[in-house]
């Protein structure tokens, strides 16, 4: 056993893909060797990835795979031997392919294979050398890397190569021994290169275990992606001096992929640019220059941090260069902002007719009109001002025609709010233009204003209703219009804002007003909402049985109440009486399904058995309070009342024959069970909890 190192040195790799490439390279090699039992349970896999290299270090890798006991299937006996019992040409050919002679015939095993008697050859296969296995594993791993676009190039000797970037060298070391493997036209050796600017010449890796240290000390390369990222965060925090660093994960990951020896420097821009909305400045610095903006007390500062691949005692040249580069970018943002404010949002509305929304759903102007009608229809149910909701919906898409949003589509809605305030629109109307897109992703904030809440739901409803009406539903993992996200956004708004008066019918009716007609795929849309809600609830830790108990389509009109019912059901399932009541409820459901017609009203005078009298009395005692608690949305307390029914229910099924010969008596007992079934299933279908 010894350590194994594989390194592929390349031209600069795509920074947005580097993290995944590094992980896939390391996992592919490690899993391939593990499949051949070359590693042990204590083997440690270390992944390395920089702008110019992919590498993996695995401790404790065997030089040879273990011998393997094998049982190879040869041929059916009827084909392997002729009528005289002699081996046929097909069998002899099979043996020859395995390097065997007729001498092994007596040792071959005859055993059934399904309905056919078959010959098997049992033997011990010698282990394979590491180099042979590694060659297969390395080739397969490189072919399966998550590469979006492959390059084609030729090596100096004319060898054609397909890979994400041109590769220059390959290292394959087992301890201090070079393994004779090849890849991408390269033969493995023990030579690498250090930092492009800080290190001249080649570096010899003398042992697999010394790789990271040699690169760090002699090559000035921090090979570990995670270590490099942590180092950048540490330097950023040190220079921020307590101020807030705007460092989204995607930016940190990309910057980490761009450098091999990170050095963070502080830069500044002119304060006059702070007149531009901070979102614009932040986005242009992040998108175009990969800079980290800084906020102090919630306001953007005119200083920013940049990550360089060069460490120097005098960074003035680097700092000055980056300050000169960012200046025209910020000037462009200021120009867009100033130009956009010369024309109001309302004045831009006619031009929405020239912007195509969807080939079958018309222009953005037509879409805007539909959202206005939906928002107006929903306003009262959301306790929102209809005039404000209508105005916000009318202006919501106007910022799509501005220069700033044309340059930075991520700012749609945000810029609409700034421009609406500049146009002296109502503050809540302006805020709603930003809030229409919330929540943008899982965990994102919800709209804070009533107008914004109405607009956010109306905008998402228009998308869902419209695309479902033309048959553009998600299929499998394909969801090009993000309809799942839209549905989850509506569900989150209704649930988290406790809008329990708004049901599915309310949403569909408002959508129909917007489109002027019902949706032919309305059942599919309702089912889609139901499926999204089920997924959401399961992700919150509820079991499929619990979710199914509260989410049949007939009960889906109470969206905001469903999580409350689930929480109550979880509490109920912990009661000692829960299992018995669930089983009884399932039994009652089955009995009622087999009965014909609607049971008549309960006639207490027809009761004969003490057990049915007792159950009727218990039901009468429980029903008033349980119903009151249910209508007050106190679902847990309502379910707790059912615990008192366990003993009389058990006694009823032990001592009472439901399907009595006397038809009147049978109908009365079915009526009692039907009343009990209604009471037990107000909050949820308890029978779904029965195993």
Distance (Å, whole) CA 273 – CA 672: 77
CA distance 531 to 379: 26
Using alpha carbons, select from 520, 407, 412, 411 the residue that is nearest to residue 459: 412
Q: What is the mean pLDDT of residues 209-228?
A: 97
Cβ–Cβ contacts within 10 Å for residue 485, how many? 17
pLDDT of residue 555: 56
pLDDT single digits (tens) 163-185: 999 999 999 999 999 999 999 99
Query: Which residues neighbour 374 within 8 Å (Cβ) at sequence distance 6 or greater?
Result: 393, 458, 461, 462, 510, 511, 513, 514
pTM of this structure: 0.79
Over the stretch 187-199, which tens digit does the pLDDT of each residue have?
999 999 999 999 9
Give DSSP secondary structure letters for 572-614: HHTSTTHHHHHHHHHHHHHHHHHS-SPPPPP-GGG--SHHHHH
CB–CB of 180/168 below 8 Å? no
- Calpha distance 116→118 (Å, rounded): 6
Domain boundaries, the chain: 2-65+129-217, 68-125, 225-340, 361-389+436-564, 575-689
Alpha helices in 185-260 (DSSP H): 211-217, 225-240, 249-258
Tokens standing for 499? Answer: 């809008």
Query: How sure is the predictor about 408, in pLDDT bands with cuts at 50, 70 and 90?
Result: very high
pLDDT exceeds cutoff 80 at 634: yes
Give CA–CA dist 264/308, Å, rounded.
6
- Quick one: which of 266, 276, 319 has its CA closest to 300? 276
pLDDT score, position 557:
65
* 595 pLDDT higher than 90: no
Compute CA distances 20 → 26, 71, 147, 633, whole Å. 10, 39, 9, 48
Q: Which residues contact 547 (CB under 8 A, 6 or more apart)?
A: 534, 537, 538, 566
pLDDT tens across 309-359, in order?
Answer: 999 999 999 999 999 999 999 999 999 999 999 999 999 999 999 999 999
For residue 416, report the phi and psi dihedrals to the nearest 5 degrees. Answer: -60, -40
pLDDT digits (tens, 9 = 90+) for 28-71: 999 999 999 999 999 999 999 999 999 999 999 999 998 888 88
Give 441's contacts (C-beta < 8 A, 6+ positions apart): 485
The CATH code that applies to domain 575-689 is 1.10.730.10
**What average pLDDT does the segment 410-417 reach?**
96
Mean pLDDT of all residues in 444-451: 96
* CB neighbour burial string for 400-426, b if at least 16 within 10 angstroms, e if fewer: bbbbbbebbeebbbbbbbbbbeebebb
Q: How confident is the model at residue 426 (pLDDT cuts 50, 70, 90)?
A: very high
**What share of the chain has pLDDT > 70, as a percent?**
99
Q: How many angstroms separate the Cα of 610 from the Cα of each of 614, 652, 654, 660? A: 6, 9, 12, 15
pLDDT of 554 over the 80 cut: no
pLDDT of residue 500: 83
If you count DSSP H runs as helices and E runs as strands, how many of each does the chain have, helices first? 26, 20
Q: With cut-offs at 50, 70 and 90, classify the pLDDT of residue 10.
A: very high
Please state whether the peptide bond connecting residue 103 to the residue before it is cis, i.e. omega within 30 degrees of 0.
Answer: no
CB 498 within 8 A of CB 550: no
pLDDT value of residue 594: 86
The arithmetic mean of pLDDT across residues 146-153, rounded, is 90
Question: Residue 341 in contact with residue 419, Cβ under 8 Å?
Answer: yes
| 52: DSSP letter | T
| The pLDDT of residue 229 is above 90 | yes
pLDDT of residue 691 exceeding 70, the answer is: no
**Contacts with 470 (C-beta within 8 Å, 6 or more apart), sequence order:** 358, 360, 361
Mean pLDDT of the chain: 93
- DSSP character for 111? E
Query: Which residues on neighbouring strands pair with residue 363, listed in sequence order?
Result: 356
């Amino acid at each position: 056993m010894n350590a194994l190192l594989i390194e592929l040195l390349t031209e600069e790799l795509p920074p947005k893909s580097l993290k995944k490439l590094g992980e896939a390279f390391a996992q592919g090699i490690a899993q391939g060797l593990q499949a051949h039992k070359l590693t042990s349970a204590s083997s440690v896999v270390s992944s390395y990835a920089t702008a110019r290299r992919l590498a993996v270090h695995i401790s404790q890798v065997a030089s040879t795979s273990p011998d393997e006991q094998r049982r190879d299937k040869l041929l059916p006996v009827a084909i392997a031997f002729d009528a005289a019992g002699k081996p046929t040409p097909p069998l002899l050919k099979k043996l020859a392919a395995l390097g065997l002679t007729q001498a092994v015939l007596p040792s071959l095993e005859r055993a059934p294979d399904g309905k056919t008697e078959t010959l098997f050859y049992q033997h011990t296969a010698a282990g394979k050398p590491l180099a042979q296995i590694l060659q297969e594993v390395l080739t397969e791993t490189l072919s399966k890397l998550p590469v979006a676009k492959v390059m084609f190039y030729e090596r100096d000797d004319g060898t054609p190569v397909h890979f994400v970037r041109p590769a220059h060298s390959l290292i394959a070391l087992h301890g201090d021994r070079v393994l004779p493997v090849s890849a991408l036209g390269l033969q493995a050796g023990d030579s690498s290169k250090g930092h492009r600017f800080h290190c001249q010449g080649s570096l010899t890796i003398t042992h697999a275990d010394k790789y990271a240290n040699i690169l760090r000390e002699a090559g000035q390369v921090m090979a570990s992606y995670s270590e490099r990222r942590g180092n950048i965060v540490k330097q950023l925090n040190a220079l921020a001096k307590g101020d807030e660093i705007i460092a989204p994960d995607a930016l940190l990951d990309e910057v980490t992929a761009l450098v091999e020896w990170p050095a963070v420097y502080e830069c500044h821009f002119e304060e006059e640019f702070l007149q531009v909305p901070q979102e614009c400045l932040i986005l242009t610095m992040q998108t175009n220059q990969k800079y980290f903006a800084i906020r102090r007390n919630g306001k953007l500062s005119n200083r920013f941090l940049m990550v360089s691949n060069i460490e120097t005692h005098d960074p003035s040249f680097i700092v000055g260069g980056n300050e000169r580069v960012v200046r025209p970018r910020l000037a462009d943002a200021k120009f867009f902002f100033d130009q956009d404010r010369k024309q109001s949002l309302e004045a831009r509305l006619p031009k929405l007719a020239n912007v195509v929304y969807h080939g079958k759903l018309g222009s953005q102007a037509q879409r805007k009109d539909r959202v206005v009608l939906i928002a107006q229809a929903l306003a009262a149910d959301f306790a929102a001002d209809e005039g404000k909701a209508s105005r916000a919906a009318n202006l919501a898409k106007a910022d799509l025609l501005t220069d700033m949003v044309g340059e930075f589509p991520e700012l749609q809605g945000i810029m609409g709010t700034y421009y609406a305030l500049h146009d002296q629109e109502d503050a809540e109307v302006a805020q709603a233009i930003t809030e229409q897109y919330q929540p943008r992703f899982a965990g994102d904030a919800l709209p804070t204003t009533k107008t914004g809440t109405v607009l956010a739901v109306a905008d998402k409803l228009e998308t869902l209703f419209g695309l479902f009406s033309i048959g553009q539903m998600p299929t499998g993992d394909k969801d090009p219009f993000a309809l799942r996200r839209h549905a989850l956004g509506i569900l989150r708004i209704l649930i988290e804002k406790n809008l329990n008066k708004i049901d599915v019918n309310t949403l569909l009716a408002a959508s129909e007003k917007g489109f002027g007609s019902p949706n032919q795929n309305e059942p599919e849309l309702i089912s889609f909402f139901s499926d999204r809600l089920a997924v959401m609830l399961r992700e919150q830790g509820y079991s499929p049985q619990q979710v199914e108990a509260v989410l049949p389509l007939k009960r889906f009109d109470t969206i905001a109440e469903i999580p409350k019912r689930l929480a109550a059901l979880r509490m109920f399932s912990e009661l000692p009486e829960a299992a018995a009541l669930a089983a009884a409820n399932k039994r009652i459901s089955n009995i009622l399904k087999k009965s014909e017609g609607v049971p008549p009203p309960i006639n207490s005078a027809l009761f004969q058995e003490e057990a049915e009298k007792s159950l009727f009395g218990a039901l009468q005692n429980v029903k008033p309070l349980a119903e009151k608690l249910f209508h007050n949305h106190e679902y847990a307390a309502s379910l707790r009342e059912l615990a008192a029914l366990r003993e009389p229910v058990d006694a009823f099924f032990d001592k009472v024959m439901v399907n009595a010969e006397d038809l009147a008596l049978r109908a009365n007992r079915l009526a009692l069970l039907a009343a009990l079934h209604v009471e037990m299933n107000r909050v949820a279908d308890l029978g779904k909890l029965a195993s």
